[in-house]
Structure 1
Amino acid sequence: MNRLKQTKFWIIPIVLIIGITLVFRSGVFASKDKTKVVDNSLSVKVIEAQQVDLVPSLTFTGSLEGQVSATVSAKISGLIEEVFVQEGQQVKAGDPLVRLGTVELANAARQASDAVNKAQANYELALNDFNRYQTLYEKGATSEQQLDNAKAKLKTAQADLSSATANQSSSEQQYSYGVINSPVDGLVANKTATVGQVVSPGLALMTVQDINQVYAVVNVEQKELGRVKIGQKANVTIDAYPGKVFSGVVDIMNPEAGSASRMFRVKIKIDNASGELKPGMFAKVQLTTGNNYKVITVPQAAVLQKQGINYVFVLEGGKALRHQVEIGEISENTIIIKSGLQPGEQVIINSVNRLNDGDAVKVTQ
């Protein structure tokens, strides 16, 4: 009996030891702070490099002006008594725009007319006397001296009549300046004339602009002038009409560069029968300068420049590989790639300044 108790005494510790060993081996008490595998790959977006058709062109910004823009001003001093038009009103050449007070001018014109009548009467009297003395002289009834006196009086009367007629013409013209007429067909703009205003010769009162056709006026640098020709077609866009393209043609090229800018003014004529285009609007002009050709383009964000050298990163086997490229023209948000990139390659288009050659990356949408 004692031996059985002794045996149980040894068996229990052994079973406990075996049980504890099995529990520890099972990992129940294993550390929960095992090192996890961290994915340091940078998330990127890619596009496939594709060839696209490109139309060689030049792009300029400028502004619109009327084909004909006439400044209306007074030719004489005076007080404005009436203004016949408002801004934006359509007028024809010869239509009255402004009337000045012309009482004094009217009186002067009337006096000039009276002077012409008086001179005309004197001339006719002198002519009759001359004709009578000439007849008498031919019959020997008067002396040569009397004939010469009649001739001198006739010449004087003729000169007086000529002077009076010239003065009448001048007076009537001055009187006509009291009504200021439109020099051209067009729309009234920039009106400053008001009733009661005292004006002087040359003071601008308004402009009249013919906008059935307008010009988009741009400045062209000397290096690009050889690519611009009279008759060249152009596409013109206006901020006020997004998505709409107006057709134009190069109509005028200034042969001399501006003294300050050293650039050449070029005018692109645009039909404007609808009147949508207004002088002073900003315009963007694109001139086609050659035939279509294929190029590879990428977003500007895809190109990285370091020390004057341009790179793009291409996705290959889950890694970003740096490719040196030669770039061409920049158009809006894209850059032409002239060499260093092939169609179909996957180009990374974001976070390129955070990448190094060979970095692991993962693509996200």
Structure 2
Amino acid sequence: MKKNWLIPALAMLLISTACSQKEITSQNTESNKVPVTVAEVSKQSISDTIELVGLAVPETQVPLLTTSPLTVEDVHVKIGDIVKKGDLIVSLDSEAALEQVSQAQQAVTELENALSKMQEMQKTAENQASLSDIPKLQEELNQSLEKSQALLNGVDTGAVTSLDLLQSTMDVMVKQAQLANAASQAQQIPTFNTTELEMSLTQARQSLKQAEQMADATTITSPIDGIISELNVVKDGIATPNVPIGTVIQLEEIAATFQVNSYQVSKLKSGQRATISFEGVTETFQSKIESVSPTVNPQTNMFSVTVPVSNSELGIKGGMRATAFVEVENMESQTVVPMNAILYEEDVAYVFVIEKGKAKRQQVTTGFRDKEFMQIVDGLKQGQKVAVNGKERLKDGIEITEQSE
């Protein structure tokens, strides 16, 4: 009798153990599932205000350059200093440049002296030739010829003696000889060719100007009133032509610059109102879109949008993160998901689609967004479910447990 009751007891114990193991296994399986809240991909209207994210860029930025590699003698400012136009920024080694100026100046002086001497010699030779006497001698010869002709006319009347005629003839011969001598001297005047000397002087003056410009370039001054935003040299270092010595900016006017995709740019145009905010600045700014790039940047495959912002208090700094809410058309019946369903990896947007209790990673192309929803241009269909809260813990293919919000 004792053995009869033992068999049913053992059977009950085995059944109980099997059930308990099944429950434990089930509990372990459930605990491995990631709890998430889900949302359905739907068709909704996107608000007429879209959000853009970009950077604050000073509208005026002037790089400071050198034309040749030179040693830095001194740096007179530091980053953040306020400077006026003409203020000294950097001094470069000027010894070689000043030596070139001295040599070029000496060449100009020597050529100027040589040209002056040659011109003076030309003038002296012309004066010695007595060119001014030729017209006078010609007039005197004409008078003598007229007198001689008159005497010849009086020979027949006996009023003119042969002695008078001889004296008149001798006078004509003397005047002719004087005129011939003066003309001969004029033909023998030496000619001085100054053309080549004048060309050399012009070239020397150009070389002097270039040398002076190089000497001036060793003193780097600010071309505008502004702020030093960048310095790329140190004392005793080398300033090179291919790298700016520094940059001077003006912060009074800021360009909020945004990069947008082809879907966004189709809805943006100049003149649209925008509300701009900057990270770290409590004030918001009202402005309008100034420009929308008509062509895509081939490196980024994005379009540039610029919104000017007045910065009279200089609270906005270059490089600050800028956010713009731009008023655009209201778009009806767009495929959307909640904003917080979107994840990014290296600027590529993706979501986790929930299918049969598992998460599936799905890359998507996004469009416009408002404060609540993101437009999905490609990658999802209406009615699909996507993970929202808890999406960060998901991996492709992992099992999930749906939870209510």
Structure 2 Cα separation of the partners of residues 281 and 247 of structure 1: 17
1:121 aligns with 113
Q: Which residue of structure 2 aligns with residue 332 of structure 1? A: 371
Match of 1:184 in 2: 224
In structure 1, the residue matched to 2:201 is: 161
- Cα separation, partners in 2 of 1:299 and 1:78, compared to 1, 3 Å: closer
C-alpha deviation, 1:134, in angstroms: 4.4
Matched, 1:56 2:96: no
Report the secondary structure of 1:227's partner residue.
Answer: coil
Judged with a 3 Å threshold, the aligned counterparts in structure 2 of structure 1 residues 132 and 254 are, in CA distance, closer, same or farther, namely farther
Aligned equivalents of 1:300, 1:221: Cα separation in 2: 18
Report the Cα offset of residue 75 of structure 1. Answer: 1.7
Structure 1 pair 85/335, CA: closer, same or farther in 2 (3 Å)?
closer
Separation in 1, partners of 2:354, 2:251:
50
Which residue, out of 322, 326, 330, partners 1:287?
326
Is the CA contact (8 Å cut-off) linking 1:79 and 1:101 kept in structure 2? yes
Q: 1:195 aligns with which of 222, 235, 243?
A: 235
Structure 1 residues 142 and 119: alpha-carbon distance in aligned structure 2, compared to 1, 3 A threshold:
farther
1:33 matched to which residue of 2? none
**Alignment partner for residue 264 of structure 2, among 208, 219, 224?**
224
Taking structure 1 as reference, are residues 226 and 159 closer, same or farther at Cα in structure 2, changes over 3 Å only? Answer: same
Indicate yes or no: 2:256 matched with 1:264.
no
- Offset of residue 181 of structure 1: 1.8
Do 1:235 and 1:246's aligned partners in 2 also have CA atoms closer than 8 Å?
yes
Greater share of strand: 1
Match of 2:210 in 1: 170
Does residue 1:97 correspond to 2:137, yes or no? no
Q: Percent identity, aligned pairs only?
A: 19
Give 2:22's aligned residue.
Answer: none
Shift of 1:270: 0.5
- Alpha-carbon distance in 1 for matches of 2:218, 2:184: 56
Distance 1:144 1:268, change over 3 A: farther
Query: 1:229-308 residue pairs with structure 2 within 5 A?
Result: 229-241=269-281, 243-290=282-329
CA displacement, residues 158-214 of structure 1 (integer Å, 9 cap, x when unaligned): 122212211211111111111112233321012122111122223222211111111
- Cα distance change on mapping 1:333 and 1:290 into 2, 3 Å: closer
1:248-288 CA-to-partner distances (Å, cap 9, x unmatched) read: 32223322211133321111110011111111111111111
Indicate if the aligned counterparts of 1:248 and 1:268 stay in contact, CA closer than 8 A: yes
Structure 1 SS opposite 2:255: strand
Q: Could you tell me whether the CA contact under 8 Å between 2:288 and 2:307 is conserved in 1?
A: yes
Q: Which runs of 5+ in 2 are unaligned?
A: 1-45, 135-182, 341-352, 356-366, 376-388, 390-400
Quote the Cα distance in structure 1 between the aligned partners of 2:78 and 2:368.
48
Change in Cα spacing, 1:273 to 1:238, as seen in structure 2 (3 Å) is same
Asked if the contact 1:93/1:182 (under 8 Å) is kept, the reply is yes
RMSD over aligned CA atoms reads 3.6
Equivalences for residues 144-155 of structure 1 within 5 A: 146-148=189-191, 150=192, 152=193, 154-155=194-195
The residue number in structure 1 matching 2:244 is: 204
Q: In structure 1, what is the Cα distance between the partners aligned to 2:69 and 2:338?
A: 63
| Alpha-carbon separation, structure 1, partners of 2:104 and 2:110 | 10
Q: Tell me the CA shift for residue 95 of structure 1.
A: 2.3
Q: How many residues are aligned here?
A: 263
Find the residue that maps to 2:280 and give its secondary structure. Answer: coil
* Structure 1 residue ranges, 4+ long, deviating more than 6 angstroms after superposition: 298-301
Q: Is the CA contact (8 Å cut-off) linking 1:133 and 1:142 kept in structure 2?
A: no
Contact 2:292–2:304 (CA<8 Å) still a contact in 1? yes
**What letter matches 1:218 in structure 2?**
F
Cα distance change, pair 174–335 in 1 and its aligned pair in 2 (3 A): closer
CA contact (8 A) 2:269 2:291 kept: no
Superposed displacement of residue 130, structure 1: 2.6
Q: Rg larger in 1 or in 2? A: 2
Q: What TM-score comes out, normalization by structure 2 length?
A: 0.57
Within the candidate set 62, 67, 72, 1:75 is matched to: 67
Q: 1:194 to 1:330 in 2, by over 3 A?
A: closer
Look up the SS of the partner of 1:121 in the other structure: helix
Q: Equivalent residue of 1:81, what SS?
A: strand
